Amino acid sequence: MLEVGGSIPSPPTNPDFEFNCPLLRPVSRHLQATSSAAVKWYNITVLYTNPISRLIEDYLADGRARGLSPKTIKDAYSYQLIHVLLPWCERNEIVEIAQLDNRALNRLTSELLEHGGKKQQQLSRFTVDTYIRNVNLFLSWCRREGLVGEVRAQPPKLPRRVVDVLSRQEVDRLEDTARSERDKVIVRLLADTGIRAGELVSLKEADLMENNRDRYIRVHGKGAKDRLVPLQPQLYRRLQRLARGRPAEVRHDFIFVTLIRQPGRGYEALTTNGLQQLIRILGERAGLQKRVHPHLLRHSFATTMLNRGMDSITLSRILGHASLVMIQRTYAHQTAGDLSESLLRALTAD
């Protein structure tokens, strides 16, 4: 094997040779060098110690081994790495993980802000922040594996924004607009528990649990982590009646099923896409001047609980967050009026 030293080696008799150079951009297994005019005509095989593409595969495999769901792997990990980071590395002739130093990573942030993603469309600072956070998670994994030092991409500075959450009166309007008991229970369950769309459609009758006078639903959360979420007795009874009143032809255990029998398939389990569409339509029927979706009800629940004095640790457990970071972000949704009301209530508590 020829190693790159201080000068370009003399052309060998056989043009196919191994050339160990991390600065050369790979194009195929037998590659054409692009970083030196003196060797660009040779067919060469470039050997890399830690190619980024292979490390990304290992990183995603590690996530699957830790029990992350396929949806989490696809939405929160693989897209940003395979469709954002890797193409950027190829354009900048970066192959080895060691080449991703702080200066290179700062260029990544800058180019995403200026030129956008893979289709060159303009990206918001919030989208770029999401991309960069996932790149940094990958780099943290590489650091734990002893592959890189303390390197980190600089996230963009984000403007403060207030999320226009739903008031309790708007939630009531949403429920009143629903035409079936199934849809009414769905609205109330999302609004009073803050569970995710995927968690709601995964509920089964066996997930309804009682302990003396307390009522719970067992929620199957992210990362295969189950948690118990308290329910008000009235909502628990409504959910129980819905579960027990499903059509006899249903061949699965999910509580929420389609309202119409599908030809040849019967009553199917409600999907997350179906739930998204349902909530959007209910928001339009209720005349709400905002885009209504299941996650907005989750944000609304969190904001309401914080305004009513629930502590962040309790709320974090109910919502199924692994840390308080997401709860702290929820405070950004509060309006000045919310903060004023919370402060006055605290000052007059005695």
Among 107, 218, 227, 321, the one annotated catalytic: 321
DSSP 254: B
298 is catalytic: yes
Dihedrals phi, psi of 155, to nearest 5 degrees: -75, 155
Q: How far apart are CA 229 and CA 21, in angstroms?
A: 56
Among 184, 188, 215, 298, the one annotated catalytic: 298
Instruction: Tell which phi-psi region holds residue 70, choosing left (phi > 0), alpha (psi between -120 and 50) or beta.
Output: alpha
Dihedrals phi, psi of 111, to nearest 5 degrees: -70, -35
Residues in the chain: 350
DSSP 75: I
222 is catalytic: yes
331 is catalytic: yes
Distance of CA 42 to the CA centre of its chain: 44
Among 196, 215, 236, 267, the one annotated catalytic: 196
Among 25, 222, 227, 285, the one annotated catalytic: 222
Q: How far apart are CA 219 and CA 224, in angstroms?
A: 10
293 is catalytic: no
Among 225, 295, 317, 345, the one annotated catalytic: 295
Pairing relationship of beta strands 2-3 and 17-20 according to DSSP bridges: parallel
Q: How far apart are CA 18 and CA 192, in angstroms?
A: 64
295 is catalytic: yes
| HSE-CB for 349 with a 13 A CA cutoff | 8
Q: How far apart are CA 166 and CA 302, in angstroms?
A: 11
Select from 283, 273, 272 the least CA-distant residue to 165: 283
Q: Which residues are catalytic?
A: 196, 222, 295, 298, 321, 331
